[in-house]
């Protein structure tokens, strides 16, 4: 994908997912010894630094839940059915709960443009233009794991970015690989966008085998490492 301009896409690197004491720490659900997402925080931070230097814009997504969201079940959550205990409660009245929805400090953007959960397509288009004009990052808040289903402004936002940048490359990192990340990658690919997923900057829950996820991504886009992608950027320079 040499020559394409880069959009960095950083999925759900929030306190509740990334911190071992978070309310829904991302680790293999059936392997107690799995160290979890903290293992890739440094790699994700390195990828974000690269995106900030080489990308046209860095886009962050994050669950921004309220207790009545469809994917929240405080009584009998079942990941196999797509429900989880309360986490990333950005719309909670409790400030402690809201802290779990914040992006981790090592990658947290300064002064981002926000696409809040009630944003409409017109807001998505205007935020895309403003981000490219000003260089400010964007934070998309969503009510569902799938960013396209969880914020109705996402579709127009991404389409506007793609039009302005003449078919860019979306470089994707984050958690959880087999939930929100794969829905982002699959969603971008299904819409015809060029996607590169950095396999060393993501972590999963074990709901789908890693090799299965990566093989599907590779069929529609590209799977590589941060080192390889960064080296390609140096060659292009």
Does residue 156 fall inside a structural domain?
A: yes
Does residue 223 fall inside a structural domain?
A: yes
Question: pTM for the full model?
Answer: 0.96
Q: What's the number of domains the chain is made of? A: 1
Q: What is the pLDDT along the chain (237 residues), one digit of tens a residue?
A: 567 899 999 999 999 999 999 999 999 999 999 999 999 999 999 999 999 999 999 999 999 999 999 999 999 999 888 899 999 999 999 999 999 999 999 999 999 999 999 999 999 999 999 999 999 999 999 999 999 999 999 999 999 999 999 999 999 999 999 999 999 999 999 999 999 999 999 999 999 999 999 999 999 999 999 999 999 866 554
Query: Which domain, by its residues, includes 135?
Result: 6-236
Beta strands 169-175 and 138-142 are unpaired
Does residue 1 fall inside a structural domain?
A: no
Does residue 98 fall inside a structural domain?
A: yes
β-strand partners of 84 = 72
Query: Residue 57: which CATH number?
Result: 3.40.50.850
- What Å distances lie between residue 76 and 28, 86, 127, 201, 205, CA to CA? 19, 11, 38, 31, 18
Q: What is the pLDDT of residue 80?
A: 85
Does residue 32 fall inside a structural domain?
A: yes
Structure token digits, residue 37: 């997402």
Does residue 149 fall inside a structural domain?
A: yes
Does residue 78 fall inside a structural domain?
A: yes
Residues 126-129: contacts with CB under 8 Å, at least 24 apart: 127/153, 127/157, 128/156, 128/157, 128/158, 128/160, 128/161, 128/164, 129/160, 129/164
70 secondary structure, DSSP code: T
């Amino acid at each position: 994908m040499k020559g394409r301009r880069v959009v960095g896409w950083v999925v759900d690197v929030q306190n509740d997912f990334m911190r071992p004491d978070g309310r829904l720490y991302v680790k293999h659900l059936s392997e107690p010894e799995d160290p979890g997402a903290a293992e890739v925080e440094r790699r994700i931070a390195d990828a974000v630094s690269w995106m900030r230097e080489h990308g046209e814009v860095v886009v962050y997504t994050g669950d921004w839940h309220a207790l009545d969201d469809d994917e929240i079940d405080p009584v009998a959550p079942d990941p196999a059915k797509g429900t989880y205990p309360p986490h990333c409660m950005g719309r909670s009245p409790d400030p402690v709960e809201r802290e779990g929805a914040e992006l981790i400090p090592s990658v947290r953007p300064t002064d981002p443009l926000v696409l809040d959960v009630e944003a409409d397509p017109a807001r998505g288009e205007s935020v895309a233009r403003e981000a490219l004009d000003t260089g400010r990052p964007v934070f998309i808040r969503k009510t569902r794991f799938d960013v396209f289903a969880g914020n109705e402004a996402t579709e127009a936002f991404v389409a506007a970015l793609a039009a302005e940048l003449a078919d860019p490359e979306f470089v994707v990192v984050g958690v959880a690989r087999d939930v929100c990340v794969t829905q982002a990658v699959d969603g971008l690919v299904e819409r015809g966008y060029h996607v590169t997923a950095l396999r060393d900057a993501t972590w999963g829950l074990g709901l789908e085998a890693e090799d299965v996820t990566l093989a599907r991504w590779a069929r529609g886009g590209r799977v590589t490492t941060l080192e390889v992608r960064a080296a390609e950027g140096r060659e292009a320079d």
